[in-house]
Amino acid sequence: MADAPLDRRDACPTTLTHKEPRMNTVLALSGVVILELCRRKDFYVLFVLTTLITLVFGAVNFFGDSSIFRYVKEICLLLIWLSMLVIAITTAARQIPAERESRTLFPLLAKPVSRAQVVLGKFLGCWLACGAALVVFYVFLTVLSATREPHFALSGLLQSMWLHWLFLAIVIAMSLLGSLVFAAPSSNSTICFVVVGGLWLLARHLNKVALQLAEPINSILYFIYFTIPHLDIFDVRDVLVHGWPAPSLGMCALATLYAAIYTAFFLVAACWVFRRKALN
Q: What is the pLDDT of residues 167-218, one digit of tens each?
A: 999 999 999 999 999 878 889 999 999 999 999 988 888 888 888 888 888 8
pTM: 0.86
Instruction: Give the model's pLDDT for residue 193.
Output: 94
Is the predicted pLDDT of residue 16 greater than 60, yes or no?
no
Alpha-carbon span 220 to 226, nearest angstrom: 10
User: What value does the mean pLDDT take over residues 126-142?
Assistant: 88
> What pLDDT band is residue 45 in, cutting at 50, 70 and 90?
confident
Domain boundaries in the chain? 22-275
* Percent residues over pLDDT 70 in the chain: 83
- Could you tell me which of 245, 76, 270, 84 has the C-alpha nearest to residue 173? 270
Residue 75 pLDDT class (50, 70, 90 cuts): confident
pLDDT of residue 2: 43
Confidence of residue 8 (pLDDT cuts 50, 70, 90): very low
More confident of the two residues 111 and 276: 276
Q: Look at 139 and 55; give whichever has higher pLDDT.
A: 139
Residue type, 195: V
- Provide mean pLDDT across the span 154-171: 92
